[in-house]
Structure 1
Amino acid sequence: MKYPTVNKAFLLSLTMVPLCAMSLSAKPHSPSKHSHAPARGPSIGAYVGIQAPKGSVEIRVGNFSFRYNNGTFYKHTKHGYVVTKAPRGAIIHTLPPGCSRVVVGGYVYYSSNNVYYRQAPNGYIVVEEPVLVSSGSTVVNTPVVVSEPVLSELSVWQGEQELLVRDGQFFKNTAEGLVWVEQPVGALTRSLPEDATSIWYRDIEYFDVDGILFRKTPNGYKVVDSPWEAAS
Protein backbone atom coordinates (compact mmCIF):
# COMPACT_ATOMS: atom_id res chain seq x y z
CA MET A 1 0.00 0.00 0.00
CA LYS A 2 1.39 3.39 -0.96
CA TYR A 3 0.91 6.42 1.22
CA PRO A 4 0.35 9.81 -0.36
CA THR A 5 3.44 11.96 -0.50
CA VAL A 6 1.94 14.51 1.88
CA ASN A 7 1.50 11.84 4.57
CA LYS A 8 5.14 10.77 4.26
CA ALA A 9 6.26 14.36 4.79
CA PHE A 10 3.97 14.67 7.81
CA LEU A 11 5.29 11.45 9.38
CA LEU A 12 8.89 12.52 8.76
CA SER A 13 8.28 15.84 10.50
CA LEU A 14 6.89 14.04 13.57
CA THR A 15 10.03 11.92 13.88
CA MET A 16 12.31 14.97 13.59
CA VAL A 17 10.65 17.03 16.33
CA PRO A 18 12.18 15.15 19.29
CA LEU A 19 15.62 15.23 17.65
CA CYS A 20 15.46 19.00 17.16
CA ALA A 21 14.28 19.48 20.72
CA MET A 22 17.24 17.45 22.01
CA SER A 23 19.64 19.42 19.85
CA LEU A 24 18.32 22.74 21.10
CA SER A 25 18.38 21.70 24.74
CA ALA A 26 21.93 20.38 24.44
CA LYS A 27 23.29 23.58 22.85
CA PRO A 28 25.79 25.16 25.26
CA HIS A 29 25.05 28.64 26.61
CA SER A 30 27.10 31.31 24.88
CA PRO A 31 28.90 33.48 27.42
CA SER A 32 28.26 37.21 27.34
CA LYS A 33 30.91 39.30 25.64
CA HIS A 34 31.27 41.13 28.95
CA SER A 35 31.74 38.05 31.10
CA HIS A 36 35.52 38.47 31.14
CA ALA A 37 35.57 42.24 31.50
CA PRO A 38 37.83 43.43 34.31
CA ALA A 39 36.07 44.30 37.53
CA ARG A 40 35.90 48.02 38.34
CA GLY A 41 35.73 49.62 41.73
CA PRO A 42 32.53 51.13 43.12
CA SER A 43 31.42 54.40 41.54
CA ILE A 44 31.54 57.74 43.34
CA GLY A 45 28.61 58.10 45.72
CA ALA A 46 28.17 54.34 46.20
CA TYR A 47 27.27 53.31 49.75
CA VAL A 48 29.59 50.64 51.14
CA GLY A 49 28.32 50.13 54.70
CA ILE A 50 28.46 51.55 58.21
CA GLN A 51 31.83 49.97 58.95
CA ALA A 52 35.12 51.19 57.47
CA PRO A 53 35.83 49.26 54.24
CA LYS A 54 37.93 46.17 54.86
CA GLY A 55 41.63 46.72 54.23
CA SER A 56 41.31 50.51 54.08
CA VAL A 57 43.62 52.91 55.88
CA GLU A 58 43.03 56.43 57.17
CA ILE A 59 44.18 59.34 55.00
CA ARG A 60 44.05 62.87 56.39
CA VAL A 61 43.92 66.00 54.24
CA GLY A 62 43.97 69.09 56.44
CA ASN A 63 41.17 68.68 58.97
CA PHE A 64 39.35 66.05 56.89
CA SER A 65 39.64 62.29 57.29
CA PHE A 66 39.19 59.70 54.55
CA ARG A 67 39.65 55.97 54.11
CA TYR A 68 41.68 54.59 51.23
CA ASN A 69 42.23 51.20 49.62
CA ASN A 70 43.63 50.24 46.18
CA GLY A 71 42.88 53.52 44.43
CA THR A 72 39.44 54.12 46.01
CA PHE A 73 38.73 56.84 48.58
CA TYR A 74 35.86 56.76 51.06
CA LYS A 75 34.34 59.37 53.36
CA HIS A 76 32.19 58.87 56.42
CA THR A 77 28.66 60.26 56.44
CA LYS A 78 25.72 59.92 58.84
CA HIS A 79 24.56 56.97 56.75
CA GLY A 80 27.95 55.24 56.70
CA TYR A 81 30.85 55.15 54.27
CA VAL A 82 30.46 56.23 50.66
CA VAL A 83 32.91 56.33 47.75
CA THR A 84 34.20 59.85 47.15
CA LYS A 85 36.31 61.70 44.61
CA ALA A 86 40.04 61.45 45.31
CA PRO A 87 40.79 64.50 47.51
CA ARG A 88 43.50 66.79 46.18
CA GLY A 89 46.50 66.78 48.52
CA ALA A 90 45.95 63.23 49.79
CA ILE A 91 49.21 61.29 50.02
CA ILE A 92 49.34 57.52 49.52
CA HIS A 93 52.40 55.33 50.10
CA THR A 94 52.12 53.18 46.96
CA LEU A 95 50.44 53.69 43.61
CA PRO A 96 47.25 51.70 42.87
CA PRO A 97 47.53 48.72 40.51
CA GLY A 98 47.48 49.49 36.80
CA CYS A 99 48.80 53.06 37.01
CA SER A 100 50.10 54.59 33.77
CA ARG A 101 53.17 56.83 33.73
CA VAL A 102 52.47 60.01 31.76
CA VAL A 103 54.35 63.23 31.01
CA VAL A 104 52.60 66.60 30.62
CA GLY A 105 54.47 69.88 30.31
CA GLY A 106 57.76 68.19 31.18
CA TYR A 107 56.45 66.73 34.44
CA VAL A 108 55.85 63.08 35.28
CA TYR A 109 52.39 62.04 36.49
CA TYR A 110 50.82 58.70 37.34
CA SER A 111 47.24 58.12 36.23
CA SER A 112 44.65 55.60 37.37
CA ASN A 113 40.87 55.80 36.82
CA ASN A 114 41.13 59.51 35.92
CA VAL A 115 43.02 60.30 39.14
CA TYR A 116 46.47 61.88 38.79
CA TYR A 117 49.37 61.51 41.20
CA ARG A 118 52.78 63.15 41.53
CA GLN A 119 55.73 61.81 43.46
CA ALA A 120 56.16 63.43 46.88
CA PRO A 121 58.71 62.95 49.69
CA ASN A 122 56.40 60.61 51.64
CA GLY A 123 54.70 58.82 48.75
CA TYR A 124 52.43 60.02 45.95
CA ILE A 125 50.17 63.05 46.19
CA VAL A 126 46.78 63.44 44.47
CA VAL A 127 46.78 66.42 42.09
CA GLU A 128 44.40 67.98 39.63
CA GLU A 129 44.41 66.81 36.03
CA PRO A 130 47.54 68.42 34.53
CA VAL A 131 47.14 71.60 32.51
CA LEU A 132 49.49 74.00 30.75
CA VAL A 133 49.06 77.76 30.72
CA SER A 134 49.92 79.40 27.38
CA SER A 135 49.35 83.03 26.30
CA GLY A 136 47.04 83.62 29.24
CA SER A 137 44.63 80.82 28.31
CA THR A 138 44.43 77.43 29.96
CA VAL A 139 44.74 74.48 27.62
CA VAL A 140 44.00 70.98 28.92
CA ASN A 141 46.59 68.61 27.52
CA THR A 142 45.97 64.96 26.78
CA PRO A 143 48.68 63.04 28.68
CA VAL A 144 51.05 61.08 26.48
CA VAL A 145 52.04 57.65 27.77
CA VAL A 146 55.81 57.28 27.97
CA SER A 147 56.99 53.74 27.34
CA GLU A 148 60.59 54.35 28.40
CA PRO A 149 61.69 56.11 31.60
CA VAL A 150 63.23 59.56 31.32
CA LEU A 151 66.55 58.95 33.06
CA SER A 152 67.61 62.60 33.11
CA GLU A 153 64.48 63.73 34.97
CA LEU A 154 64.02 63.78 38.73
CA SER A 155 61.75 65.65 41.12
CA VAL A 156 62.90 66.97 44.48
CA TRP A 157 60.92 68.77 47.15
CA GLN A 158 62.04 71.83 49.12
CA GLY A 159 59.29 72.13 51.67
CA GLU A 160 56.08 72.43 49.63
CA GLN A 161 57.94 73.57 46.51
CA GLU A 162 58.56 70.94 43.83
CA LEU A 163 61.65 71.30 41.67
CA LEU A 164 62.60 69.45 38.51
CA VAL A 165 66.16 68.22 37.90
CA ARG A 166 67.41 68.09 34.33
CA ASP A 167 71.01 67.48 33.29
CA GLY A 168 72.34 68.43 36.71
CA GLN A 169 70.33 71.69 36.97
CA PHE A 170 67.28 72.63 39.03
CA PHE A 171 64.14 74.28 37.67
CA LYS A 172 60.72 75.30 38.98
CA ASN A 173 57.56 75.22 36.92
CA THR A 174 55.84 78.57 36.31
CA ALA A 175 53.18 79.91 33.97
CA GLU A 176 55.98 81.05 31.66
CA GLY A 177 57.68 77.64 31.69
CA LEU A 178 60.64 76.16 33.56
CA VAL A 179 62.78 78.68 35.46
CA TRP A 180 66.31 77.87 36.64
CA VAL A 181 67.02 77.98 40.40
CA GLU A 182 70.16 77.50 42.48
CA GLN A 183 70.92 74.09 43.94
CA PRO A 184 68.47 73.63 46.85
CA VAL A 185 70.64 72.04 49.54
CA GLY A 186 68.42 69.96 51.83
CA ALA A 187 65.73 69.27 49.21
CA LEU A 188 64.38 65.70 49.36
CA THR A 189 63.37 63.04 46.89
CA ARG A 190 61.75 59.69 47.62
CA SER A 191 63.91 57.68 45.22
CA LEU A 192 66.89 58.04 42.89
CA PRO A 193 67.38 56.86 39.29
CA GLU A 194 68.77 53.37 38.86
CA ASP A 195 71.96 54.76 37.32
CA ALA A 196 72.84 56.87 40.40
CA THR A 197 76.53 56.35 41.28
CA SER A 198 77.49 55.36 44.83
CA ILE A 199 80.48 57.30 46.20
CA TRP A 200 82.08 56.69 49.59
CA TYR A 201 83.93 59.53 51.34
CA ARG A 202 85.22 59.25 54.91
CA ASP A 203 82.98 56.23 55.53
CA ILE A 204 79.85 58.07 54.39
CA GLU A 205 77.97 57.01 51.25
CA TYR A 206 76.86 59.62 48.74
CA PHE A 207 74.96 59.21 45.49
CA ASP A 208 75.84 61.13 42.34
CA VAL A 209 73.10 61.97 39.82
CA ASP A 210 74.37 64.10 36.91
CA GLY A 211 76.85 65.81 39.24
CA ILE A 212 74.34 66.37 42.08
CA LEU A 213 75.15 64.67 45.38
CA PHE A 214 72.55 63.05 47.64
CA ARG A 215 72.72 61.39 51.04
CA LYS A 216 70.22 58.81 52.24
CA THR A 217 68.16 59.90 55.27
CA PRO A 218 65.10 58.45 57.04
CA ASN A 219 62.93 60.91 55.08
CA GLY A 220 64.43 60.19 51.66
CA TYR A 221 67.49 61.25 49.68
CA LYS A 222 68.73 64.76 50.56
CA VAL A 223 70.60 67.16 48.27
CA VAL A 224 73.98 68.00 49.84
CA ASP A 225 77.08 70.02 49.01
CA SER A 226 80.23 68.19 47.97
CA PRO A 227 82.09 67.28 51.21
CA TRP A 228 85.49 66.98 49.49
CA GLU A 229 85.18 70.39 47.88
CA ALA A 230 84.32 71.91 51.24
CA ALA A 231 87.33 70.15 52.80
CA SER A 232 89.67 71.65 50.21
Structure 2
Amino acid sequence: MPSFLRLLARPLALTLCSLGAGPAFAGTHVDVGIGLRFDKRYHHDHYYPAPGYVVSHAPPGAVVVHHHAAPYYFHGGVWYRPYGQRLRVVLPPVGIVVPLLPSAYVTLRIGGHPYFYANGAYYQSAPGGYVVVNPPEEAAAAVPAPAPPPLKPEPIIYPRNGQSAQQTEADRQECNRWATSQPAALNDAGVFNRAVEACMDGRGYSMR
Protein backbone atom coordinates (compact mmCIF):
# COMPACT_ATOMS: atom_id res chain seq x y z
CA MET A 1 0.00 0.00 0.00
CA PRO A 2 1.40 3.46 -0.91
CA SER A 3 2.70 5.36 2.09
CA PHE A 4 0.20 8.18 1.77
CA LEU A 5 -2.68 5.66 1.90
CA ARG A 6 -1.24 4.22 5.09
CA LEU A 7 -1.16 7.79 6.39
CA LEU A 8 -4.78 8.36 5.42
CA ALA A 9 -5.74 5.19 7.28
CA ARG A 10 -4.83 6.83 10.60
CA PRO A 11 -7.94 8.85 11.51
CA LEU A 12 -6.34 10.48 14.55
CA ALA A 13 -3.50 11.79 12.40
CA LEU A 14 -5.65 13.10 9.58
CA THR A 15 -8.47 15.65 9.47
CA LEU A 16 -10.15 17.49 6.66
CA CYS A 17 -9.26 21.13 6.40
CA SER A 18 -12.18 23.49 5.80
CA LEU A 19 -10.18 25.59 3.36
CA GLY A 20 -10.97 25.08 -0.31
CA ALA A 21 -8.52 23.34 -2.60
CA GLY A 22 -6.47 25.34 -5.04
CA PRO A 23 -7.10 25.50 -8.79
CA ALA A 24 -7.00 22.23 -10.71
CA PHE A 25 -7.01 21.38 -14.39
CA ALA A 26 -10.43 20.33 -15.65
CA GLY A 27 -10.78 16.63 -16.25
CA THR A 28 -7.48 15.70 -14.64
CA HIS A 29 -8.80 14.47 -11.28
CA VAL A 30 -11.78 12.43 -10.15
CA ASP A 31 -12.96 12.62 -6.53
CA VAL A 32 -13.33 9.06 -5.25
CA GLY A 33 -14.03 9.67 -1.57
CA ILE A 34 -13.41 12.06 1.28
CA GLY A 35 -9.89 13.37 0.93
CA LEU A 36 -8.81 11.21 -2.00
CA ARG A 37 -8.67 11.98 -5.68
CA PHE A 38 -7.65 9.94 -8.70
CA ASP A 39 -5.26 11.60 -11.17
CA LYS A 40 -6.07 10.20 -14.61
CA ARG A 41 -4.25 12.75 -16.77
CA TYR A 42 -1.93 11.10 -19.31
CA HIS A 43 -3.00 7.74 -17.77
CA HIS A 44 -1.00 8.63 -14.68
CA ASP A 45 -3.71 6.72 -12.79
CA HIS A 46 -2.62 7.34 -9.21
CA TYR A 47 -4.50 8.24 -6.04
CA TYR A 48 -3.44 11.26 -3.98
CA PRO A 49 -4.74 13.04 -0.89
CA ALA A 50 -6.57 16.16 -1.98
CA PRO A 51 -5.28 19.68 -1.24
CA GLY A 52 -6.66 20.83 2.08
CA TYR A 53 -6.04 17.66 4.05
CA VAL A 54 -4.15 18.11 7.29
CA VAL A 55 -1.73 15.53 8.71
CA SER A 56 0.03 15.46 12.06
CA HIS A 57 3.50 14.84 10.62
CA ALA A 58 5.37 14.40 7.35
CA PRO A 59 5.41 10.89 5.82
CA PRO A 60 8.63 8.90 6.36
CA GLY A 61 11.17 9.84 3.69
CA ALA A 62 9.75 13.32 3.04
CA VAL A 63 12.24 15.90 1.77
CA VAL A 64 12.21 19.44 3.15
CA VAL A 65 12.43 22.14 0.47
CA HIS A 66 12.55 25.90 1.14
CA HIS A 67 10.95 28.33 -1.30
CA HIS A 68 11.19 32.08 -0.57
CA ALA A 69 12.22 31.09 2.98
CA ALA A 70 9.02 29.04 3.48
CA PRO A 71 9.41 25.30 4.22
CA TYR A 72 7.61 22.70 2.13
CA TYR A 73 7.63 18.93 2.55
CA PHE A 74 7.60 16.67 -0.52
CA HIS A 75 6.89 12.96 -0.64
CA GLY A 76 5.48 10.68 -3.32
CA GLY A 77 4.32 13.53 -5.53
CA VAL A 78 2.44 15.22 -2.65
CA TRP A 79 3.38 18.65 -1.27
CA TYR A 80 2.78 19.77 2.32
CA ARG A 81 3.11 23.11 4.13
CA PRO A 82 3.13 23.86 7.87
CA TYR A 83 -0.37 24.51 9.18
CA GLY A 84 -0.08 25.40 12.84
CA GLN A 85 1.58 22.43 14.51
CA ARG A 86 0.61 20.17 11.61
CA LEU A 87 1.03 19.98 7.82
CA ARG A 88 -1.52 20.67 5.10
CA VAL A 89 -1.56 19.19 1.59
CA VAL A 90 -1.10 21.99 -0.95
CA LEU A 91 -0.44 22.59 -4.62
CA PRO A 92 3.24 23.39 -5.24
CA PRO A 93 4.17 26.95 -6.18
CA VAL A 94 5.70 27.57 -9.58
CA GLY A 95 9.45 27.92 -9.21
CA ILE A 96 9.98 25.56 -6.29
CA VAL A 97 12.80 23.04 -6.87
CA VAL A 98 12.81 19.46 -5.56
CA PRO A 99 15.99 17.35 -5.72
CA LEU A 100 14.27 14.20 -7.00
CA LEU A 101 11.08 13.33 -8.84
CA PRO A 102 8.55 11.01 -7.18
CA SER A 103 8.83 7.32 -8.04
CA ALA A 104 5.62 7.56 -10.11
CA TYR A 105 5.49 10.21 -12.83
CA VAL A 106 4.77 10.61 -16.54
CA THR A 107 7.45 11.72 -18.98
CA LEU A 108 6.27 14.12 -21.72
CA ARG A 109 7.94 15.85 -24.64
CA ILE A 110 6.24 19.15 -25.43
CA GLY A 111 7.57 21.71 -27.89
CA GLY A 112 10.81 19.74 -28.13
CA HIS A 113 11.42 19.94 -24.37
CA PRO A 114 11.08 17.19 -21.74
CA TYR A 115 8.51 17.62 -18.97
CA PHE A 116 7.60 15.41 -16.07
CA TYR A 117 4.06 15.24 -14.70
CA ALA A 118 2.64 13.96 -11.39
CA ASN A 119 -0.39 14.90 -9.28
CA GLY A 120 -1.35 17.98 -11.30
CA ALA A 121 2.18 19.45 -11.35
CA TYR A 122 4.60 19.81 -14.27
CA TYR A 123 8.36 19.65 -13.68
CA GLN A 124 11.45 20.37 -15.76
CA SER A 125 15.11 19.66 -15.09
CA ALA A 126 16.84 22.58 -13.39
CA PRO A 127 19.98 23.28 -11.34
CA GLY A 128 19.51 21.46 -8.06
CA GLY A 129 16.94 18.99 -9.35
CA TYR A 130 13.50 19.62 -10.89
CA VAL A 131 11.52 22.86 -10.90
CA VAL A 132 7.72 23.18 -10.87
CA VAL A 133 6.59 25.08 -13.99
CA ASN A 134 3.33 26.36 -15.43
CA PRO A 135 1.50 23.87 -17.66
CA PRO A 136 2.80 24.33 -21.22
CA GLU A 137 0.28 25.49 -23.84
CA GLU A 138 0.52 22.21 -25.73
CA ALA A 139 -0.05 20.09 -22.61
CA ALA A 140 -3.57 18.98 -23.61
CA ALA A 141 -2.28 17.26 -26.76
CA ALA A 142 0.88 15.76 -25.23
CA VAL A 143 1.45 12.01 -25.41
CA PRO A 144 3.29 10.32 -22.51
CA ALA A 145 6.55 8.53 -23.18
CA PRO A 146 7.19 5.03 -21.77
CA ALA A 147 7.61 5.15 -17.99
CA PRO A 148 11.10 4.57 -16.55
CA PRO A 149 11.70 1.51 -14.37
CA PRO A 150 10.50 2.03 -10.78
CA LEU A 151 12.90 2.90 -8.00
CA LYS A 152 13.62 0.29 -5.35
CA PRO A 153 11.21 0.23 -2.36
CA GLU A 154 11.93 2.34 0.69
CA PRO A 155 14.51 0.57 2.87
CA ILE A 156 13.89 -0.75 6.35
CA ILE A 157 15.84 1.15 9.02
CA TYR A 158 17.25 -0.83 11.94
CA PRO A 159 18.65 1.12 14.92
CA ARG A 160 21.82 -0.68 15.98
CA ASN A 161 22.23 1.31 19.19
CA GLY A 162 18.69 1.12 20.52
CA GLN A 163 17.64 4.54 19.23
CA SER A 164 14.01 5.45 19.87
CA ALA A 165 11.49 5.78 17.06
CA GLN A 166 11.52 9.56 17.56
CA GLN A 167 15.31 9.71 17.33
CA THR A 168 15.30 7.41 14.28
CA GLU A 169 12.85 9.70 12.48
CA ALA A 170 14.86 12.81 13.39
CA ASP A 171 18.08 11.20 12.10
CA ARG A 172 16.37 10.03 8.91
CA GLN A 173 15.09 13.54 8.14
CA GLU A 174 18.51 15.04 8.86
CA CYS A 175 20.19 12.52 6.56
CA ASN A 176 17.68 13.28 3.81
CA ARG A 177 18.48 16.98 4.13
CA TRP A 178 22.21 16.25 4.09
CA ALA A 179 21.90 14.05 1.01
CA THR A 180 20.14 16.84 -0.93
CA SER A 181 23.18 19.07 -0.31
CA GLN A 182 25.54 16.67 -2.11
CA PRO A 183 26.07 17.84 -5.72
CA ALA A 184 26.50 14.33 -7.10
CA ALA A 185 23.11 13.30 -5.67
CA LEU A 186 20.97 16.05 -7.14
CA ASN A 187 20.14 14.33 -10.43
CA ASP A 188 20.78 10.69 -9.61
CA ALA A 189 18.42 8.77 -7.33
CA GLY A 190 20.99 6.01 -6.83
CA VAL A 191 23.61 8.45 -5.57
CA PHE A 192 21.01 10.17 -3.37
CA ASN A 193 19.98 6.85 -1.79
CA ARG A 194 23.60 5.86 -1.17
CA ALA A 195 24.26 9.23 0.47
CA VAL A 196 21.30 8.69 2.83
CA GLU A 197 22.47 5.15 3.65
CA ALA A 198 26.01 6.34 4.37
CA CYS A 199 24.71 9.09 6.64
CA MET A 200 22.41 6.70 8.52
CA ASP A 201 25.20 4.15 8.88
CA GLY A 202 27.38 6.82 10.46
CA ARG A 203 24.59 7.55 12.95
CA GLY A 204 24.30 3.91 13.96
CA TYR A 205 21.62 2.46 11.67
CA SER A 206 21.48 -0.42 9.21
CA MET A 207 19.34 -0.06 6.08
CA ARG A 208 18.12 -2.94 3.93
TM-score range, shorter chain: 0.3 to 0.5
The structure with the largest helix share of the pair is 2
TM-score (norm 1): 0.41
Query: Which structure exhibits the higher relative contact order, with contacts defined as CA atoms closer than 8 Å and separated by 6 or more residues?
Result: 2
